[in-house]
Amino acid sequence: MQKIGLIAATSALALVLGACGSGEEASNQAAANEMNAVMADGSNPFADAELQMNERMMAAVGTDVGDNWARKMIEHHQGAIQMSEIVLQQNPTADVAEVARMTIEKQRKEIEDIRKLLKDGAPNQQSAELYRPAMTDMHQKMMVATGADVSETFMRKMLEHHRGGVAMSDVALQNGVTGALRQQVEKTRSDQQKDAKMIEAMLRGESMTHAQESEAKPAEEARAEPAAEKARPAAQPTRAAPKAPPAKTTPPARPTPPTEPKADSTCTPEHREMGHC
């Protein structure tokens, strides 16, 4: 299967080289040599799936910017499913196998949701070209991404795959996609961003479970904070305590003059002089 993909890729590149002028010939030849080297690398079981995904995405053309995103994203997700099925055949680590199974389930469900939003009409190649830079950048980064083993290689390729999905969604959002399709673009972008962050954490050495918990925690905290604010009773305005009436002050009592002791009529003059009376 990989040998067939190599022949197809080489033939396609030869046609491109024949159609281009001499000014682009050198850069195209360098790209062809790099592609042949990647395809010849037996340690990369994903190369053929990556090439097929890129070809299908480039060929998918819709009626406008939004329809182009939908048709290209279907092929983007289909590529992730195909690569996940491949890694499951390569004896990956338990965490990578779980990521692959989760990817297959999620991407199949989202493909069904996106298909419901497809439009009928004449293809619009001009709006399709808006996505070419993001798709080309994603494809080039995926093709050269590699790791110490097949599990790490898969994760590094899927990291660039998810980042590419975010970039394509940004193109759609920046070019006026509206309505139900815009909601789908925003959801897809959010999911791709979460998956990219989970893989980044796994590449740092975290388990899949811990990586998922780390990713879910900020979102839960963000949801809990408004709820806590809502539950908190509103502060009641404090009323100033009524002023106490001024205390009545009583004038100080006037001192009473000392009273002279009354003379005792029975006291004789001699005794009064001696102080006995």
* pLDDT confidence tier of residue 8, bands split at 50, 70 and 90: very low
Structure tokens at 63: 């009626």
CA 66 – CA 175 distance, rounded (Å): 9
Per-residue confidence (pLDDT) for residue 232, from 0 to 100: 57
Q: What is the pLDDT of residues 14-43, one digit of tens each?
A: 444 444 444 555 555 555 555 555 554 556
* Closest alpha carbon to 159 in 174, 181, 144: 144
Structure tokens at 77: 């997700």
Q: Where are the domains of the chain?
A: 1-40, 46-226
Cβ burial of 79 (10 Å; 0-12, 13-18, 19+) is buried
Higher-confidence position of 2 and 133: 133
CA 74 – CA 165 distance, rounded (Å): 11
Higher-confidence position of 172 and 250: 172
| Dihedral angle, C-alpha 52, 54, 58, 63, nearest 10 ° | 90
Summary mean pLDDT of the chain:
81
Q: What is the pLDDT of residues 92-147, one digit of tens each?
A: 999 999 999 999 999 999 999 999 999 999 999 999 999 999 999 999 999 999 99
Per-residue confidence (pLDDT) for residue 25, from 0 to 100: 59
* pLDDT confidence tier of residue 13, bands split at 50, 70 and 90: very low
Number of neighbouring beta carbons within 10 Å of residue 26: 9
CA 182 – CA 46 distance, rounded (Å): 31
Amino acid at residue number 100: A
Per-residue confidence (pLDDT) for residue 224, from 0 to 100: 56
| Percentage with pLDDT > 70 across the chain | 62
Structure tokens at 130: 């808006």
CB contact at 8 A, 59 and 125: no
* Closest alpha carbon to 124 in 67, 41, 50: 67
CB contact at 8 A, 168 and 133: no
Dmax (CA) of the chain: 160
Q: What is the pLDDT of residues 204-249, one digit of tens each?
A: 999 988 888 776 665 555 555 555 555 555 555 556 555 656 666 5
| Percentage with pLDDT > 90 across the chain | 59
* pLDDT confidence tier of residue 81, bands split at 50, 70 and 90: very high
Higher-confidence position of 151 and 40: 151
The arrangement of secondary structure in 46-226, i.e. its CATH architecture, is Up-down Bundle (1.20)
* pLDDT confidence tier of residue 260, bands split at 50, 70 and 90: low
DSSP designation for 16: H
Give the pTM: 0.69
